[in-house]
Structure 1
Amino acid sequence: MQTTDVIVLGAGMVGVSAALSLQARGRAVVMIDRRGAGLETSFGNAGLIERSSIFPYVFPRDPARLVKYALNLLPEAHYHLTALPGVGPWLLRYWRESAPERVAKSIAARRPLIEHSLSEHEALVAQAGADALLRHTGWIKLFRSETTFRAGIADAEKLAKYDLHIDILDSADVAAREPHLAPVAGAVHYLDTASVSDPGALAKAYADLFLARGGRFIHGDASSLTQEADGRWSVAGPEGRILARDAVVALGPWSDQIFKPLGYVMPFGFKRGYHMHYAPGEGARLNHPVLDADNGYLLAPMAKGVRLTSGAEFAPRDAPPSPVQIELCEPIARRLFPLGKALDPAPWKGARPCLPDMLPVLGPAPRHKGLWFDFGHAHHGLTLGPVSGRLLAEMMTGETPFTDPSPYRADRF
């Protein structure tokens, strides 16, 4: 039997960040994962550290747009008809939580996390020697028509009171910043956001830092988590069980495999997503992550090539891949930017773990001493991993939390 202070279940960006924050506060930590650091949900995303994302992704309220979603006519969202009995109740709850008065509460709750997200990353990047992965170029939201461009400007203006840096670009401005894009009506450039050229590599760099500072990583099955008679928590490892006073559930979309058997009921859902890499066309270069707002996909320059990322797919977490959105968006993306050959044998698939208010579950498990939750970061696991880890570690070690953690409590629903 091995002993430690804390077991962290999950080695994605959220789990690794929590392990580092606890380690920095003097706790001995063992991290458990079935694979390795950054190889699951943290591997496949747009690579944005979204400092400007004050407003959450909400369920649309426009009736005409809802009809199009219902008919699977828009590439930014797709659902499986056979999945509706399972995902329908969650979608209804998501719709209810997207009411204006509830969104206002969500904005207030997420703001402290968003505002500290980049600074927490920058500190870890410096400590991990991963500066080459981080780019302070912001991201660009493109609009194809004057109508959608005006709406995009209106959305950007709502952020004025949050002290963000935003440029409004006309067609010529876009061409100056991205000369290889096809003409568009205009764009909004969110300058405070940073991006990374390889999200999986960033998670691995953080994990390497954790190991260099004396942390331990063990390949193991998180579902073997058990509370012993003395109240401590244990997990099966290849050389026997690991025993700790505290355990952190940071398993992203698989977190329900722990909290459900323990009797916790939460409206936990998934937004699946896909990505595919392409070589840039001869002589072409993409300088920023760019979102085609009218068509619901994003192109991001990555170490491997240009990554095309899809919107949200509503389906069971482990259902077979159905990369319809990549197939729909690829020809549109090729008309926007000269993509060359595909560099992946098939689109990558992942699942974003979501609560309907688009806030994470972060803090103590209400009925189990020593059990802590850190999951459900929706579209912002990469963005919020380090700041969530800091807040969790402050709670676990008795420090005064830098912000009120009550909006993220597990029993808020």
Structure 2
Amino acid sequence: MARQTVVLGAGMVGVSIAWHLRQRGHEVTLVDRLQPGRETSFGNAGIIQREAVRPHPFPRDVKTLLSVLPNRRVDIRYRPAGMVNAASPLLRYWMNSAPKAYQKIVPEYASLIQLSLKTHGPMIDAAGAEHLVRRQGWLELYRTPEKLAARIKEAEEARRLYGVQFEQLDKAALEEKEPSLSDTIIGAIHWLDPWTVADPGGLVAAYAQAFSNDGGRILQADIKSVQQIGDRWQVNTAAESLEVDNVVVALGPWAGSWLKELGYHFPTFVKRGYHMHYAPQAPARLNFWVMDAEVGYLLAPMNAGIRLTTGAELDRLDAPADVNQLGAAEKVARGVFPLGERRDEAPWKGARPCLPDMKPVIGPAPRHPGLWLAFGHGHQGFTLGPATGHLLADMMEGQPTAIDMAPFRADRF
């Protein structure tokens, strides 16, 4: 008899897990209050970031920390209440960003990133989603030669250690690719490996449809409770109750609060973010995904328009939106590329689910057989969903995994 599994959360991570388990014969129900791909996975920058072998560390140099304090930067903002609420995990995040600790984390994190393209590929094929994907990489823009040179040095190390491919573009070469950029940009790194996605939420929805076409079930309903009954699990939703062998918690920024109900206290926190779509001013055209690296926002030519995605906002998950960060990013972006009118009625707001050692939890829950965890992917849930799905399915099947999963175990906290 096929094992019965409920996957909680229909973002990129949850959908990918459900797809992989269904491929292996599990009877899978995917549960979320919204349709697949409508939360965090909907609003990201739409890059499958094979080059992102180094997670985002907490700033540690005094100059950067002092520049953050006035709370006017584009790349990072905070609210005092949010900082107080997440004080303990943020302190651990800062400690894990120290050179010695960070040096150990990078290869562990990179082992996941290196699986990103090879695991997205089969899912794109199965979903018939090739029309959403561009295999042209993306551009990291710089304003000063010194900062570009420092970043090139990091890129060369990433190429040597992790096979990351890139090209350095001087001003003339960049102008050939993006003639509408302003003269303030003096050069760029063209990351060659990554794939970009013209509708991130649409890709997740296509993956979910492939799962459904293969016999998987999608249940759109509020989750009320999860409880262990003997050696089985009962998931109660607003629509119905499900009794199954396995439950997978892939609830992104909500995972930490849900798991407290079962006695787990993970040091979760969120980095919130915003996006807005714009028309270009004719005849300008944006050809690539471009990041203004020294300021900290990204522009992407998506189906809905040119999406401006902000950096990180440190605040409580459920705090009201503060659109000042988006406004500051938009003001700078208009000086780099001729953006036209806004296309959305209001900015989109989402939250990246984070853990203080910058790595996700992937694997079994320590005290509950049949409970599996997959959350805390930070900035890279969209990139790492299929890799997480493949690895967790291997673990649930008792099969060898492509990489060492010890760095991602739940009991490390």
Report the TM range for the smaller structure's normalisation: over 0.9
Deviation at 1:160, TM superposition (A): 2.6
Deviation at 1:411, TM superposition (A): 1.2
Q: Quick one: distance in 2 between partners of 1:160 and 1:21?
A: 30
In angstroms, what is the RMSD of aligned CA positions? 1.3
Q: Is the 8 A contact 2:256 2:265 kept in 1?
A: no
Normalised to the residue count of structure 2, the TM-score between the two structures is 0.97
Structure-2 residue corresponding to 1:20: 19
Deviation at 1:4, TM superposition (A): 6.3
Structure-2 residue corresponding to 1:250: 250
- For the pair 1:143 / 2:142, whether they are aligned, the reply is yes
Structure-2 residue corresponding to 1:409: 409
Structure-2 residue corresponding to 1:192: 193
- For the pair 1:300 / 2:313, whether they are aligned, the reply is no
1:121-132 equivalences under 5 Å are 121-132=120-131
1:102-141 equivalences under 5 Å are 102-141=101-140
Normalised to the residue count of structure 1, the TM-score between the two structures is 0.97
* Structure 2 counterpart of 1:193, one-letter code: P
Q: Is the 8 A contact 2:10 2:37 kept in 1?
A: yes
The 4+ residue runs of structure 1 with deviation greater than 6 A are none
Q: Is the 8 A contact 1:245 1:370 kept in 2?
A: yes
Deviation at 1:340, TM superposition (A): 0.7
Q: Quick one: distance in 2 between partners of 1:402 and 1:84?
A: 37
Q: Quick one: distance in 1 between partners of 2:123 and 2:83?
A: 41
Structure-1 residue corresponding to 2:51: 52
Q: Is the 8 A contact 1:221 1:235 kept in 2?
A: no
Unaligned runs of 5+ residues in structure 1 are none
Deviation at 1:239, TM superposition (A): 5.2
CA separation of 1:223 and 1:102: change in aligned 2, threshold 3 A: farther
Unaligned runs of 5+ residues in structure 2 are none
Structure-2 residue corresponding to 1:312: 312
Greater CA drift, 260-269 or 3-12: 3-12
* Structure 1 counterpart of 2:163, one-letter code: D
Question: Equivalent residue of 1:71, what SS?
Answer: coil
Structure-2 residue corresponding to 1:211: 212
Greater CA drift, 93-102 or 375-384: 93-102
Q: Quick one: distance in 2 between partners of 1:366 and 1:155?
A: 37
Q: Is the 8 A contact 1:363 1:409 kept in 2?
A: yes
Structure-1 residue corresponding to 2:347: 347
Deviation at 1:57, TM superposition (A): 0.5
Q: Quick one: distance in 1 between partners of 2:148 and 2:239?
A: 59
Percentage of pairs with the same residue: 48
- For the pair 1:357 / 2:357, whether they are aligned, the reply is yes
Q: Quick one: distance in 1 between partners of 2:24 and 2:110?
A: 25
* Structure 2 counterpart of 1:188, one-letter code: I
Q: Quick one: distance in 2 between partners of 1:80 and 1:168?
A: 37
1:10-409 equivalences under 5 Å are 10-161=9-160, 162-183=162-183, 184-228=185-229, 230-237=230-237, 240-409=240-409
Q: Is the 8 A contact 1:218 1:237 kept in 2?
A: no
Question: Equivalent residue of 2:273, what SS?
Answer: strand
Q: Is the 8 A contact 1:4 1:30 kept in 2?
A: no
Q: Quick one: distance in 2 between partners of 1:147 and 1:80?
A: 32
* Structure 2 counterpart of 1:235, one-letter code: V
Deviation at 1:137, TM superposition (A): 1.1
Question: Equivalent residue of 2:22, what SS?
Answer: helix
Question: Equivalent residue of 1:399, what SS?
Answer: coil
Q: Is the 8 A contact 2:4 2:246 kept in 1?
A: yes
* Structure 1 counterpart of 2:206, one-letter code: A
* Structure 2 counterpart of 1:348, one-letter code: W
Question: Equivalent residue of 2:168, what SS?
Answer: strand
For residues 348-370 of structure 1, the C-alpha deviation after alignment (integer angstroms, 9 at most, x for no partner) is 00000001111100000000110
